[in-house]
Amino acid sequence: MLDLLTLTLEQQTPEQTQGETADFTWQWLAEGLLQCTPKSSYSKTMVLSAGIHGNETAPIELLANIIKDLFTQRLTLGARVLFVLGNPEAIRQGVRYLENDMNRMFCGAYQHLTPDRETYRAAQLEQMTAQFFAQSHPDAARYHYDLHTAIRSSLLPVFALFPYQVQAYDDFLIQSLNAADLDALVYHNAAGKTFTHFTAETFQAASSTLELGKAKPFGQNELSEFAAIDQVLRAVLSGQALPVRQKPSIRQFKVVDSILKQSEDFQLKLNADAPNFSRFEKGELIATQHAGNTVVDDQQVWILFPNPNVKIGLRAGLILKEIE
Protein backbone atom coordinates (compact mmCIF):
# COMPACT_ATOMS: atom_id res chain seq x y z
CA MET A 1 0.00 0.00 0.00
CA LEU A 2 1.21 3.52 -0.83
CA ASP A 3 0.24 6.32 1.61
CA LEU A 4 0.66 9.44 -0.54
CA LEU A 5 -0.31 11.92 2.19
CA THR A 6 2.08 10.57 4.86
CA LEU A 7 4.93 10.40 2.33
CA THR A 8 4.25 14.02 1.36
CA LEU A 9 3.96 15.31 4.93
CA GLU A 10 7.19 13.52 5.92
CA GLN A 11 8.97 14.48 2.67
CA GLN A 12 9.81 10.84 2.01
CA THR A 13 10.34 8.81 -1.17
CA PRO A 14 8.62 5.39 -1.03
CA GLU A 15 10.88 2.33 -0.93
CA GLN A 16 9.01 1.03 -3.97
CA THR A 17 7.96 3.57 -6.64
CA GLN A 18 5.77 1.27 -8.71
CA GLY A 19 3.73 -1.87 -8.32
CA GLU A 20 0.35 -3.47 -8.84
CA THR A 21 -2.75 -4.62 -7.02
CA ALA A 22 -5.32 -7.16 -8.21
CA ASP A 23 -7.01 -4.62 -10.49
CA PHE A 24 -4.54 -1.80 -11.27
CA THR A 25 -0.90 -0.86 -11.71
CA TRP A 26 0.49 2.20 -9.91
CA GLN A 27 3.47 4.51 -10.15
CA TRP A 28 4.74 7.18 -7.74
CA LEU A 29 5.93 9.85 -10.17
CA ALA A 30 7.27 12.53 -7.80
CA GLU A 31 6.39 14.14 -4.49
CA GLY A 32 2.59 14.16 -4.12
CA LEU A 33 2.00 12.56 -7.54
CA LEU A 34 0.53 9.07 -7.92
CA GLN A 35 -0.69 7.51 -11.17
CA CYS A 36 -3.02 4.46 -11.19
CA THR A 37 -4.08 2.57 -14.32
CA PRO A 38 -6.76 -0.17 -14.38
CA LYS A 39 -5.72 -3.54 -15.78
CA SER A 40 -9.07 -3.70 -17.58
CA SER A 41 -10.13 -1.28 -20.33
CA TYR A 42 -11.23 2.22 -19.25
CA SER A 43 -13.27 5.00 -20.86
CA LYS A 44 -12.25 7.88 -18.57
CA THR A 45 -8.85 9.33 -17.69
CA MET A 46 -8.85 11.89 -14.91
CA VAL A 47 -6.76 14.20 -12.76
CA LEU A 48 -7.88 14.45 -9.13
CA SER A 49 -6.04 17.30 -7.43
CA ALA A 50 -6.08 18.95 -4.00
CA GLY A 51 -3.67 21.06 -1.97
CA ILE A 52 -2.83 23.58 -4.71
CA HIS A 53 -3.42 25.83 -1.69
CA GLY A 54 -1.61 24.13 1.19
CA ASN A 55 -4.01 25.08 4.01
CA GLU A 56 -7.10 23.59 2.30
CA THR A 57 -6.83 20.26 4.03
CA ALA A 58 -10.26 18.57 3.81
CA PRO A 59 -9.93 17.71 0.08
CA ILE A 60 -6.40 16.38 0.74
CA GLU A 61 -7.80 14.04 3.42
CA LEU A 62 -10.62 13.06 1.05
CA LEU A 63 -8.15 11.99 -1.66
CA ALA A 64 -5.96 10.18 0.90
CA ASN A 65 -8.98 8.09 1.98
CA ILE A 66 -9.88 7.27 -1.63
CA ILE A 67 -6.29 6.14 -2.33
CA LYS A 68 -6.30 3.97 0.82
CA ASP A 69 -9.58 2.32 -0.23
CA LEU A 70 -8.23 1.62 -3.74
CA PHE A 71 -5.13 -0.09 -2.34
CA THR A 72 -7.13 -2.13 0.20
CA GLN A 73 -9.65 -3.08 -2.55
CA ARG A 74 -12.61 -1.46 -0.79
CA LEU A 75 -12.94 0.58 -3.99
CA THR A 76 -12.53 -0.77 -7.53
CA LEU A 77 -10.68 1.37 -10.07
CA GLY A 78 -12.43 1.74 -13.42
CA ALA A 79 -10.74 4.94 -14.69
CA ARG A 80 -7.12 5.93 -15.19
CA VAL A 81 -6.27 8.55 -12.56
CA LEU A 82 -3.48 10.94 -11.60
CA PHE A 83 -3.72 11.95 -7.92
CA VAL A 84 -2.09 15.32 -7.24
CA LEU A 85 -1.23 16.90 -3.90
CA GLY A 86 -0.38 20.24 -5.45
CA ASN A 87 1.87 22.34 -3.22
CA PRO A 88 3.75 19.98 -0.87
CA GLU A 89 5.81 22.55 1.05
CA ALA A 90 2.76 24.76 1.66
CA ILE A 91 0.85 21.64 2.81
CA ARG A 92 3.64 20.84 5.29
CA GLN A 93 3.69 24.43 6.59
CA GLY A 94 -0.13 24.69 6.72
CA VAL A 95 -0.14 27.88 4.63
CA ARG A 96 -2.07 28.85 1.49
CA TYR A 97 1.17 29.39 -0.46
CA LEU A 98 4.82 30.31 0.21
CA GLU A 99 5.46 33.32 -2.06
CA ASN A 100 2.79 33.52 -4.78
CA ASP A 101 -0.61 31.93 -5.34
CA MET A 102 0.14 28.71 -7.21
CA ASN A 103 -3.35 28.67 -8.76
CA ARG A 104 -2.34 31.75 -10.79
CA MET A 105 0.84 30.11 -12.17
CA PHE A 106 -0.45 27.77 -14.85
CA CYS A 107 -0.58 28.13 -18.64
CA GLY A 108 3.10 29.09 -18.37
CA ALA A 109 2.47 32.04 -16.02
CA TYR A 110 5.16 30.71 -13.64
CA GLN A 111 7.75 31.80 -16.25
CA HIS A 112 7.04 35.46 -15.41
CA LEU A 113 7.77 35.05 -11.69
CA THR A 114 11.06 34.85 -9.79
CA PRO A 115 12.04 31.15 -9.85
CA ASP A 116 11.36 29.37 -6.55
CA ARG A 117 9.94 26.09 -5.22
CA GLU A 118 6.40 26.99 -6.29
CA THR A 119 7.26 28.02 -9.85
CA TYR A 120 9.27 24.79 -10.17
CA ARG A 121 6.29 22.83 -8.87
CA ALA A 122 3.84 24.51 -11.28
CA ALA A 123 6.17 23.63 -14.19
CA GLN A 124 6.44 20.04 -12.90
CA LEU A 125 2.65 19.71 -12.60
CA GLU A 126 2.20 20.96 -16.18
CA GLN A 127 4.81 18.50 -17.43
CA MET A 128 3.46 15.51 -15.47
CA THR A 129 -0.14 16.25 -16.48
CA ALA A 130 0.88 16.47 -20.13
CA GLN A 131 2.70 13.14 -19.84
CA PHE A 132 -0.27 11.54 -18.08
CA PHE A 133 -2.80 12.53 -20.75
CA ALA A 134 -0.37 11.65 -23.58
CA GLN A 135 0.04 8.11 -22.19
CA SER A 136 -3.70 7.56 -21.64
CA HIS A 137 -5.87 5.74 -24.15
CA PRO A 138 -6.61 8.24 -26.97
CA ASP A 139 -10.35 7.47 -26.90
CA ALA A 140 -10.72 7.95 -23.13
CA ALA A 141 -12.71 11.03 -22.08
CA ARG A 142 -10.55 13.46 -20.07
CA TYR A 143 -11.64 14.95 -16.74
CA HIS A 144 -10.11 17.12 -14.03
CA TYR A 145 -11.63 17.78 -10.61
CA ASP A 146 -9.51 20.29 -8.63
CA LEU A 147 -10.69 20.31 -5.01
CA HIS A 148 -10.44 23.39 -2.80
CA THR A 149 -11.97 24.93 0.30
CA ALA A 150 -12.62 28.68 0.57
CA ILE A 151 -10.93 31.30 2.78
CA ARG A 152 -14.31 32.68 3.90
CA SER A 153 -17.79 31.34 4.54
CA SER A 154 -20.33 31.26 1.72
CA LEU A 155 -24.07 31.82 1.42
CA LEU A 156 -23.95 28.97 -1.14
CA PRO A 157 -21.48 26.73 0.73
CA VAL A 158 -20.41 24.26 -1.98
CA PHE A 159 -19.96 25.34 -5.57
CA ALA A 160 -17.92 24.73 -8.71
CA LEU A 161 -16.21 27.04 -11.20
CA PHE A 162 -15.82 26.19 -14.86
CA PRO A 163 -12.84 27.62 -16.75
CA TYR A 164 -13.69 29.79 -19.74
CA GLN A 165 -14.05 27.77 -22.96
CA VAL A 166 -15.71 28.27 -26.32
CA GLN A 167 -16.93 24.67 -26.75
CA ALA A 168 -19.96 23.31 -24.88
CA TYR A 169 -19.39 22.16 -21.31
CA ASP A 170 -19.28 18.40 -20.78
CA ASP A 171 -22.65 16.83 -19.90
CA PHE A 172 -21.21 14.14 -17.64
CA LEU A 173 -19.15 16.68 -15.68
CA ILE A 174 -22.26 18.80 -15.05
CA GLN A 175 -24.28 15.69 -14.10
CA SER A 176 -21.59 14.64 -11.62
CA LEU A 177 -21.46 18.08 -9.97
CA ASN A 178 -25.26 18.12 -9.80
CA ALA A 179 -25.20 14.67 -8.15
CA ALA A 180 -22.59 15.93 -5.66
CA ASP A 181 -25.23 18.25 -4.15
CA LEU A 182 -23.37 21.41 -5.09
CA ASP A 183 -25.32 24.62 -4.47
CA ALA A 184 -24.06 26.56 -7.49
CA LEU A 185 -22.11 26.46 -10.77
CA VAL A 186 -20.10 29.51 -11.86
CA TYR A 187 -18.94 30.02 -15.46
CA HIS A 188 -15.81 32.13 -16.05
CA ASN A 189 -15.92 34.79 -18.78
CA ALA A 190 -12.19 35.03 -19.57
CA ALA A 191 -9.05 32.90 -19.78
CA GLY A 192 -7.29 32.33 -16.46
CA LYS A 193 -4.06 30.92 -15.05
CA THR A 194 -5.62 28.20 -12.87
CA PHE A 195 -4.80 24.49 -12.93
CA THR A 196 -8.25 23.71 -14.38
CA HIS A 197 -7.91 26.34 -17.11
CA PHE A 198 -4.60 24.70 -18.07
CA THR A 199 -6.11 21.20 -18.36
CA ALA A 200 -9.21 22.46 -20.20
CA GLU A 201 -7.35 24.63 -22.69
CA THR A 202 -4.30 22.44 -23.31
CA PHE A 203 -5.86 18.95 -23.23
CA GLN A 204 -9.58 19.69 -23.79
CA ALA A 205 -10.31 18.04 -20.44
CA ALA A 206 -13.72 18.59 -18.86
CA SER A 207 -12.36 20.54 -15.89
CA SER A 208 -13.84 22.12 -12.79
CA THR A 209 -12.58 23.83 -9.63
CA LEU A 210 -14.66 22.75 -6.62
CA GLU A 211 -15.04 24.92 -3.51
CA LEU A 212 -16.17 22.66 -0.67
CA GLY A 213 -16.73 24.74 2.44
CA LYS A 214 -14.16 26.51 4.63
CA ALA A 215 -10.41 25.89 5.02
CA LYS A 216 -9.43 24.27 8.35
CA PRO A 217 -6.19 22.68 9.67
CA PHE A 218 -5.56 18.93 9.47
CA GLY A 219 -7.57 17.02 12.07
CA GLN A 220 -10.29 19.70 12.36
CA ASN A 221 -12.31 18.70 9.29
CA GLU A 222 -15.68 17.02 9.63
CA LEU A 223 -15.37 14.78 6.56
CA SER A 224 -19.04 13.76 6.76
CA GLU A 225 -19.75 17.29 5.39
CA PHE A 226 -18.02 16.16 2.18
CA ALA A 227 -19.93 12.87 1.83
CA ALA A 228 -21.77 13.87 -1.36
CA ILE A 229 -18.68 14.85 -3.37
CA ASP A 230 -16.80 11.86 -1.94
CA GLN A 231 -19.57 9.54 -3.12
CA VAL A 232 -19.53 11.10 -6.61
CA LEU A 233 -15.74 10.89 -7.02
CA ARG A 234 -15.84 7.23 -5.97
CA ALA A 235 -18.66 6.56 -8.46
CA VAL A 236 -16.71 8.23 -11.29
CA LEU A 237 -13.49 6.37 -10.40
CA SER A 238 -15.21 2.98 -10.17
CA GLY A 239 -17.60 3.43 -13.10
CA GLN A 240 -20.70 3.14 -10.91
CA ALA A 241 -23.96 5.09 -11.39
CA LEU A 242 -24.01 8.62 -9.99
CA PRO A 243 -26.05 9.12 -6.79
CA VAL A 244 -29.37 10.98 -6.88
CA ARG A 245 -29.31 14.68 -5.97
CA GLN A 246 -30.75 15.39 -2.49
CA LYS A 247 -30.89 19.21 -2.61
CA PRO A 248 -33.07 21.78 -4.44
CA SER A 249 -32.05 22.65 -8.01
CA ILE A 250 -28.49 23.87 -8.51
CA ARG A 251 -28.13 27.63 -9.17
CA GLN A 252 -26.01 28.90 -12.07
CA PHE A 253 -24.01 32.13 -12.34
CA LYS A 254 -21.75 33.73 -14.92
CA VAL A 255 -18.80 36.01 -14.19
CA VAL A 256 -19.48 39.45 -15.68
CA ASP A 257 -16.50 41.37 -14.31
CA SER A 258 -13.34 41.14 -12.21
CA ILE A 259 -12.46 43.71 -9.55
CA LEU A 260 -8.77 44.56 -9.98
CA LYS A 261 -6.76 46.18 -7.19
CA GLN A 262 -4.85 48.99 -8.88
CA SER A 263 -3.56 51.05 -5.95
CA GLU A 264 -2.90 50.86 -2.19
CA ASP A 265 -5.97 52.99 -1.40
CA PHE A 266 -8.21 50.15 -2.68
CA GLN A 267 -11.20 49.36 -0.43
CA LEU A 268 -14.02 46.84 -0.75
CA LYS A 269 -17.35 48.08 0.58
CA LEU A 270 -17.95 44.84 2.47
CA ASN A 271 -17.46 43.69 6.02
CA ALA A 272 -14.15 41.88 6.45
CA ASP A 273 -16.01 38.61 7.08
CA ALA A 274 -18.70 39.07 4.40
CA PRO A 275 -19.49 35.67 2.84
CA ASN A 276 -19.10 34.60 -0.79
CA PHE A 277 -22.27 35.28 -2.82
CA SER A 278 -23.00 38.49 -0.90
CA ARG A 279 -25.46 40.47 -3.00
CA PHE A 280 -25.40 44.08 -4.25
CA GLU A 281 -28.29 46.02 -5.75
CA LYS A 282 -28.29 48.56 -8.60
CA GLY A 283 -26.43 51.79 -7.76
CA GLU A 284 -24.54 50.31 -4.77
CA LEU A 285 -20.79 50.88 -4.42
CA ILE A 286 -18.70 47.69 -4.39
CA ALA A 287 -15.13 49.06 -4.32
CA THR A 288 -13.27 52.36 -4.28
CA GLN A 289 -9.77 53.29 -5.44
CA HIS A 290 -7.95 56.22 -7.07
CA ALA A 291 -8.22 54.59 -10.53
CA GLY A 292 -12.03 54.53 -10.32
CA ASN A 293 -14.90 53.13 -8.26
CA THR A 294 -16.87 49.95 -8.98
CA VAL A 295 -20.63 50.60 -8.96
CA VAL A 296 -23.46 48.14 -9.71
CA ASP A 297 -25.15 49.03 -13.00
CA ASP A 298 -27.35 45.90 -13.18
CA GLN A 299 -30.40 45.09 -11.07
CA GLN A 300 -28.55 42.59 -8.92
CA VAL A 301 -25.05 41.14 -8.76
CA TRP A 302 -23.23 38.77 -6.42
CA ILE A 303 -19.58 38.90 -5.33
CA LEU A 304 -17.24 35.92 -5.16
CA PHE A 305 -13.78 35.66 -3.54
CA PRO A 306 -13.68 39.23 -2.18
CA ASN A 307 -10.13 39.82 -0.93
CA PRO A 308 -8.79 43.39 -0.55
CA ASN A 309 -5.41 42.07 0.64
CA VAL A 310 -4.19 40.81 -2.75
CA LYS A 311 -1.13 42.34 -4.37
CA ILE A 312 -1.62 45.35 -6.67
CA GLY A 313 -2.57 44.20 -10.16
CA LEU A 314 -4.35 41.08 -8.94
CA ARG A 315 -8.04 40.22 -8.76
CA ALA A 316 -9.78 41.32 -5.54
CA GLY A 317 -13.11 39.69 -6.38
CA LEU A 318 -15.42 38.44 -9.10
CA ILE A 319 -18.80 39.99 -9.95
CA LEU A 320 -21.51 37.48 -10.91
CA LYS A 321 -24.96 37.57 -12.48
CA GLU A 322 -27.39 34.69 -12.04
CA ILE A 323 -28.35 32.70 -15.15
CA GLU A 324 -32.11 32.18 -15.03
In DSSP terms, 44 is beta-bridged to 141
211 has catalytic annotation: yes
- Is there a binding annotation on residue 53? yes
Half-sphere exposure of 161 (CA within 13 A, CB side): 24
In DSSP terms, 321 is beta-bridged to 254
Which one from 89, 99, 211, 264 is the annotated catalytic residue?
211
In DSSP terms, 25 is beta-bridged to 20, 37
- Is there a binding annotation on residue 290? no
Among 87, 90, 122, 127, CA closest to 105: 122
| Residue-wise DSSP of 247-300 | SSPPEEEEEEEEEE--STT-EESS-TTPPBTEEEETT-EEEE-TT--EE--SSE
Instruction: Give the dihedral sign, CA 68/74/80/81.
Output: negative
Distance CA 11, CA 318 (A): 36
- Is there a binding annotation on residue 144? no
User: Annotated binding site, which residues?
Assistant: 53, 56, 148
User: Annotated binding site for Zn(2+), which residues?
Assistant: 53, 56, 148
- What residues are labeled active site? 211
